[in-house]
Structure 1
């Protein structure tokens, strides 16, 4: 084989037009991700980008936006309980899921400000 996959470069989540302030508050202020500049030629499309560990999360504007209620990214976290506490202090609704606890995985879901499902997990 002459090509090789390294993994994910970024995940893109869709959001409605004018989403930037709400995205900045949730992803940067609440989650603690760093906003990163979008390339100049993409700035006119709207949206906002963030750094999450070694990956990027791009929030892109979608016409006729409908949130992704089932399809979702899963973010591996160190100190998941600390993240849970931070989210609860910010009045973010947490949806617990113990379906993989027998594998040593602790996890929960939240919805971003636009209704997209996000999973956070920690291997025990």
Structure 2
């Protein structure tokens, strides 16, 4: 879910920051619902812009495995995004980031155990 009218913020984040592709809505639902769809690899994110928007807590999130996590973290921090570190795990580096609407993403990169 996203705040009504937040379409450009969504595009700035999902396309500009996370490098996703915006997907046109199917003609069957275009115009009936206030939605934006984005694709990242073989996954899709569907955002609904509705009046009953409620921010989501960090406990509910999507986890994306990325390469170059440190470079991405640096880019996100430079852009002013709030990075939230969580409990360290032995086999991966990770952090959380909210999108402009409070939907959380865990971004992580596995590494070899020493």
Query: Where do 5+ consecutive residues of structure 1 fail to align?
Result: 1-13
Query: In structure 2, what is the equivalent of residue 65 of structure 1?
Result: 53
Tell me, yes or no, if the aligned pair for 2:24 and 2:37 is still in contact at 8 Å: yes
The aligned runs of 1:67-82 (5 Å cut-off) are 67-69=55-57, 70-82=59-71
Among candidates 80, 94, 97, match of residue 107 of structure 1? 94
Query: Where do 5+ consecutive residues of structure 2 fail to align?
Result: none
Could you say which structure has the higher helix fraction? 1
TM-score (norm 2): 0.87
Q: Distance in 1 between matches of 2:84 and 2:102?
A: 13
RMSD: 1.3
- Residue 16 of structure 1: CA displacement? 2.1
TM-score (norm 1): 0.81
Structure 1 stretches of 4+ with a deviation exceeding 3 A read none
